Structure 1
Amino acid sequence: MLKIIPDGFFFDFLSKAKAAGSVSLLVVLASVAIVAFMGLNYGIDFKGGTDMILKFEKPLDSDTVRAAAAEAGFPDANVQEFGSSGTQFLVQTSAIAIVDQAKIESLRPELAKVGTLKNLVWSDENPERMDLTFDGEVSNEAISAALAPLVGPVEVEIDTTGAEKRQIVRFEDLQSKVTEGFAKALPDTFNPVGGIERLETVGPRVGKQLRDSGVLSLVVALFLILAYIAFRFDLRYAPGAVLALAHDVAISVGVFSLIQMEITLPTIAALLTVVGYSLNDTIVVFDRIREALADRGENEIEYTINQAISDTLSRTIMTSLTTLVAVGAIFVFGAGLIKDFAFALIVGIIVGTYSSVFVASPAMLFMHRYLATRRELKARTESVA
């Protein structure tokens, strides 16, 4: 079997634990500070907006599609090539409808010109509808004429089901706006029939729920791992494993914040994958430590742990390098969300390989000494009593 570390290799890893721990603490604190001051660049999944995949009849570049998106009414659009043909693009925008809260507020003065507006109801959960109540009679045609210059054609109908008469305004749907906008901006390359391959909209409230669920999934995973390690090994090992995983996630998120990488659902999936990968690495080391402790004889526990880490070092490095080669290929040749997913894995694998040696193992030694001290104190107390 190929080994990059020769048999009989030994290194005193624990003698470097204080230095490594100081570095880890500084990097984690720096990551927390970066996230606090720079924030996270949440994607459409978490802040709300629209994802669409557009197909063109001729190859284009991203700048051309971005300019067409701005002309169509989406100046904030983020455009990425989707696939390698040059005819498909992923377009992301914060718009979930042709109107938003700011646009709705700008409609009030125009509506006030046609009658005394008593109430206006609009919600981002149903952004294509607005309910109006006037003090007195106002015709549907007058409302349509007042709104058309600002939001385009609208449909107005009277609702008499409630205690008070109200008029319902229905705006043009977002897909129609996209179709019309790109057909006008790129008439030779965009086919209104079939040009939109996918269009998905996430409202701000749903995005917040997804964001909270993503954070909860990471927290639950760490607690379940704590329970599993405590059951699989014993209490000495569990805190070290969770500390290493929290260390990996904190640093990874700090890197994402530093480079302002978009945080999406695939990013959360990558972090959970990193948690699983790092845990696997840590369990291999812990399993060897447990075997060595059971047969250490007169050896000091520090020597035994160092020997166990040295014995598994070849496997740890080979596994990480093999995985990095595969993920690196995805990062180099991939695009869009899959590229971000691969980058998250690369960061996590590097940090996870380090933490299984320099974070989890020293923490296990600390817990061993702490529990041994407690047992001694308890024994002394009982003997005195």
Structure 2
Amino acid sequence: MFQLLRTKHVISFMRWSKFAFAFSSLMIIASVATLAVKGLNFGLDFTGGTLIEVGFEQPANLSEVRAALVKEGFDDATVQNFGSTREVMVRLRPREHVAGEVIGNQIIHAIKFGTGQNVEMRRIEFVGPSVGDELAEAGGMAIIVSLICILLYVSMRFQWRLSAGAVLALAHDVTITLGVFSFLQIEVDLTIVAALLTVVGYSLNDTIVVFDRIRENFRKMRKGSPAEIMDSSITQTLSRTLITSGTTLFVVISLFVKGAPSIHGFALALLLGITVGTYSSIYVASALALKLGITREHLMPPKVEKEGAEFDSLP
């Protein structure tokens, strides 16, 4: 089988675990501090606002539409195609003491004046802040429930020390990703929640592959310390990890560089999550299980005594 990384020597990953823990701790502390001080820049899905659907006679130039809205003072407007190149959706944050119909007329006027096209308002809706609060609560609960379910699944499949390492690694990935979004004040909407859940699933898949090999080697390798067995297991799965992460990152980077501005946040969340998740599968999940005292005895299958075994030793 083709391997991206061929090595006859076992790489001593666990030797650097202390430095990895220090680095991860600094990143977590910085992320939590940033979230506490700056918070997240919630998008319209969570804050509420006005949604306006506009129809064009010719395919719309989104950059031109954005420039026209910024010129008229709508700096917070989110502009994206909806259905076709002639349909554009404009989303705005809530504006106090301004009726939705007035905002709609202002948007239509700004687009007509800035693009020189005749446009038609197809639909206008207002999303209240209470709905946004419900969506924010539902998004947070989705991530928390997924982590709890993962903890239960990995506990049943492996051992609680490994499951604790896996869940803490996933929480590590999500926290650092949100910390970067908070620091850069990138808008967080429902697509970012979807990206975070995707990161959780992706990182868990990588961690499960490593854990499977760790369990197999703990049962097969009779010599060597737990750290040496983990080093061997991670080295054996390293080629698969690099190929999987590399090919996924190619697609995500393409989305980030060439994709529309409306999906930049989604692509950035995946880019950060996959990168941090690949690192955490080695230096957080596995290393934490080792720090919690995982041994060969914890992963050995239980011995099942066959019926009548007590008579086998009789002459």
Question: Could you say which TM-score interval applies, normalised by the shorter chain?
Answer: 0.7 to 0.9
Tell me which of 288, 296, 315 is aligned to 2:221.
296
TM-score by length of 2: 0.84
Could you say which residue in structure 1 is the equivalent of 2:182? 257
Superposed CA RMSD: 2.6
* 1:333 to partner: Cα distance: 1.6
Distance in 1, matches of 2:260 and 2:294, equals 49
Between 215-224 and 363-372, the greater mean CA deviation after superposition: 363-372
> What are structure 1's unaligned runs of at least 5 residues?
104-150, 152-171, 374-385
Instruction: Return the alpha-carbon distance in structure 2 between the equivalents of residues 29 and 12 of structure 1.
Output: 27
Change in Cα spacing, 1:91 to 1:183, as seen in structure 2 (3 Å) is: closer
Counterpart residue number, 1:201: 126
1:334 aligns with 2:231: no
Gap regions ≥5 residues in structure 2:
299-315
- Aligned identity (percent) is 41
Does 2:10 correspond to 1:82? no
> Do the aligned residues in 2 keep the contact of 1:82 with 1:335 (CA within 8 Å)?
no
Query: 1:182, CA displacement in angstroms?
Result: 4.1
- Please, which of 233, 236, 241 is the counterpart of residue 166 of structure 2? 241
For 2:92, give the aligned amino acid. T
Q: Deviations over 1:144-166 (max 9, x none)?
A: xxxxxxx7xxxxxxxxxxxxxxx
The verdict on how the C-alpha distance between 1:190 and 1:65 changes in structure 2, with shifts beyond 3 A counting, is farther
What residue in structure 2 maps to residue 319 of structure 1?
244
Tell me whether 285-294 or 33-42 shows the greater mean CA deviation. Answer: 33-42
Number of the residue aligned with 2:142? 217
8 A contact 1:32–1:254 mirrored in 2: yes
Summarize the Cα distance change of 1:27–1:66 in structure 2 as closer, same or farther, 3 Å threshold: same
Question: Once the 2 structures are TM-superposed, how far is the Cα of residue 216 of structure 1 from its aligned partner?
Answer: 1.1
Counterpart in the other structure of 1:63 = 67
User: How far off is 1:330 after superposition?
Assistant: 1.4
Say yes or no: does 1:94 pair with 2:93.
yes
Question: Cα gap change, 1:296/1:204 in structure 2, threshold over 3 Å: closer, same or farther?
Answer: same
Map of 2:20 onto structure 1: 20
Q: What corresponds to 1:5 in structure 2?
A: 5
Whether 1:191 and 2:119 are equivalent positions in the alignment is yes
Task: Give the Cα separation in 2 of the matches to 1:22 and 1:184.
Answer: 55
Shift of residue 17, structure 1, vs aligned partner: 0.3
Higher helix share: 2
* Contact 1:9–1:311 (CA under 8 A) maintained in structure 2: no
Q: Number of aligned residue pairs: give it.
A: 291
Maintained 8 Å contact 1:82/1:336: no
C-alpha separation between the residues in 1 aligned to 2:102 and 2:38?
34
SS at match of 2:160: coil
Q: Residues of 1 paired with 2:166 and 2:257: CA distance?
A: 31
Residues 127-183 of structure 1: per-residue CA shift (max 9 Å, x gap): xxxxxxxxxxxxxxxxxxxxxxxx7xxxxxxxxxxxxxxxxxxxx7x2x43553344
Partner of 2:119, secondary structure, is coil
Structure 2 counterpart of 1:190, one-letter code: N
Following superposition, the deviation at residue 47 of structure 1 comes to: 1.1
Could you tell me which amino acid in structure 2 is paired with residue 345 of structure 1?
L
Distance in 1 (alpha carbons) for counterparts of 2:17 and 2:217: 20
Of the two, which has the highest radius of gyration?
1
1:323–1:367 distance in 2 versus 1, CA, 3 Å:
same
